[in-house]
Amino acid sequence: MTLTIASPDGSALDKTGTFTLGSGIEANYSTCEHCVVVVQDATGTNKKFFPESGTITISSSTPPSSAATSGLTGSLDKVKLVEVTIGGAPNYVSTPVAGGACLYFTAEPLNAVP
């Protein structure tokens, strides 16, 4: 299982704070600023999961683009991820899989390195 935290231009990951996942612009991979994606069995079934609810806290990150060069620390709290498909370029729209699997992180510390 691989957890990826990304931002389209990298700038959102340089801001510290707590951010709500699964609503507003964070409700779809095509619009998210704090894009959390879990890929299960990347060499086999390649299931992808995207947040339906919860928060991400970014507690240390020093601009510019330190998340990309130095990593970041923080946590995921009460994050429910649902199985999705993610469309291709240019929009990358995420669509929940009917009857798909779910993952749940109650309180998961992050210590990410590039």
Please give the model's pTM, rounded to 2 decimal places.
0.84
What is the four-CA torsion angle of 23, 24, 28, 34, rounded to 10 degrees?
A: -80
> Could you tell me whether strands 47-60 and 17-20 are parallel, antiparallel, or unpaired per DSSP bridges?
antiparallel
Q: Domain containing 6: what range?
A: 2-112
Q: What is the pLDDT of residues 12-60, one digit of tens each?
A: 677 789 999 999 999 999 999 888 999 987 677 789 999 999 999 988 7
CA proximity to 84, closest of 107, 100, 105, 66: 100
Q: What is the domain count for the chain? A: 1
CA proximity to 10, closest of 87, 69, 88, 74: 69
Cβ atoms of 51 and 59 within 8 Å: the answer is no
CA–CA distances in Å: residue 33 to residues 11, 43, 44, 60, 99: 9, 27, 28, 17, 27
pLDDT bracket for residue 64 (50, 70, 90): very low
